[in-house]
Structure 1
Amino acid sequence: MGNREKLLDGALQCLFEKGYAETTARDIATTAGVSLAAIGYHFGTTQALLSTVLFQAMEQWADELENALNDEGDAALAPADRFVAIWTRVIDSIAANRALWTTQFEAATQVARGQGPDWDWTEAQGGAQAGLAELFHGIDGDEEPELARTVGGVYQALISGVVLQHLVTPELALSGRDLIDGLRAIAARLDP
């Protein structure tokens, strides 16, 4: 394993153990077993390294989410049962990736303060919305961009809220069944 890979592994470990704001270049270099200069050589800055590793970790989770959404056993289920099954797997994935989500929320807070990962957040959010619309409902963002934005945005909001509930108050957090029951109750109150 080269220094670049060691830095990526070390940075991820530090992010999950110390958090975004508390991880220093020295922490990463020590954990990776490389010199501080290696960060500059391979990534330019510590923030660029942290942005890279957090983005990679989120891409891995997105792949996991896609797998959760594409379970072949769901095809025989009624739409509501499929929704519950998918959200149950999504919630299980959230629990299994608690450190990633804690770090992502912290990084988002740092972005709001002008100190977080230097991603193109507009592009990242648009891509996430389009991807979620495609994954959940097969909506093509190129053919129906506004529908993909709104449907994907609703799912993005649901995921963010469910993640936050499971991080902070797991005993009160919604299950897949709770989500569909809540959505049905809301929809029933929207129609006169």
Structure 2
Amino acid sequence: MGHREDLLEGAVRCIYEKGYARTTARDVVEASGTNLGSIGYHYGGMAKLMTAALERAVENWGLSLAQAVMSADADGLTGAERFEQYWEYMIESVKQHRPLMMATFDAFLEMDRSQEVRQLLVEGMRDARGLWAQAFHGIDPEAEPARAAQVGSFYQALISGVLTQVLIDEDDAPTAQDLSAAVRIVAGSL
């Protein structure tokens, strides 16, 4: 690995250890084994490095969630069983990746001051919607963009809401079974 990749991986580790907003350039240098000058040379500054690190960390987390959905499908489960298995995985993943989840809230606070952070969040949300539509229902976002956006937005809203509830009150947050029962109730009333 070169300095650029070392810096990025060091910044990702710092997000998990210190958070997005509390990580300093010296923290990244220590975690990456590089030097302060490398940050400016490779990324143009600390803000751009931290944005890239947050993007990498969230992307890796999102891909692991999508893989969980797809692997649940391979088990021959019913739709409800697959839904619950995925949400069990997701809820546990939020608990395991709590520092990363909290770092995303730091980024939300930065988006009004940083166009790069805002763009990262916008693109990430759009990509996530397509990913959820494809992972949960096999909807190709390229072939059916409107349908994928609708279904993906529903799952993104669930994920954001459950994530927030788990972070705020882990003991009283909804379980996978609670979510499954709620979807049945809501769908039955439409």
User: 1:46, 1:19 → 2: CA distance?
Assistant: 14
What is the one-letter code of the residue matched to 2:144? E
Cα deviation, 1:97-120, whole Å, max 9, x if unaligned, reads 222111112212221454772634
Match of 2:131, SS? helix
| TM-score normalised per structure 1 | 0.88
The alpha carbon displacement at 1:84 in A equals 0.9
Q: Is the 8 A contact 1:11 1:49 kept in 2?
A: yes
- Alignment of structure 1 residues 42-61 onto 2, 5 Å: 42-61=42-61
Q: Is the 8 A contact 2:19 2:100 kept in 1?
A: no
Matched residue pairs, number? 190
Cα deviation, 1:128-170, whole Å, max 9, x if unaligned, reads 1111100010011122111111110010011111111111100
Q: Which moved more, 1:84-93 or 1:46-55?
A: 84-93
Q: Which moved more, 1:31-40 or 1:116-125?
A: 116-125
Q: Is the 8 A contact 2:21 2:103 kept in 1?
A: no
Flag the 1:100–1:113 CA change in 2: closer, same or farther, 3 A: same
The alpha carbon displacement at 1:123 in A equals 2.9
User: 2:173, 2:181 → 1: CA distance?
Assistant: 14
Q: Is the 8 A contact 2:72 2:85 kept in 1?
A: no
- Alignment of structure 1 residues 64-103 onto 2, 5 Å: 64-71=64-71, 75-103=75-103
Note the residue ranges of structure 2 that are not aligned, 5 or more in a row: none
User: 1:102, 1:121 → 2: CA distance?
Assistant: 14
| TM-score normalised per structure 2 | 0.89
| 1:15 matched to 2:15 | yes
User: 1:103, 1:122 → 2: CA distance?
Assistant: 16
Q: Is the 8 A contact 1:16 1:100 kept in 2?
A: yes
Q: Which moved more, 1:6-15 or 1:163-172?
A: 6-15
Residue aligning to 1:38: 38
Match of 2:189, SS? helix
Q: Which moved more, 1:92-101 or 1:174-183?
A: 92-101
Cα deviation, 1:27-70, whole Å, max 9, x if unaligned, reads 22233332211101111111111111111111211221122112
**Identity over aligned pairs, percent:** 39
User: 1:120, 1:60 → 2: CA distance?
Assistant: 14
User: 2:73, 2:127 → 1: CA distance?
Assistant: 27
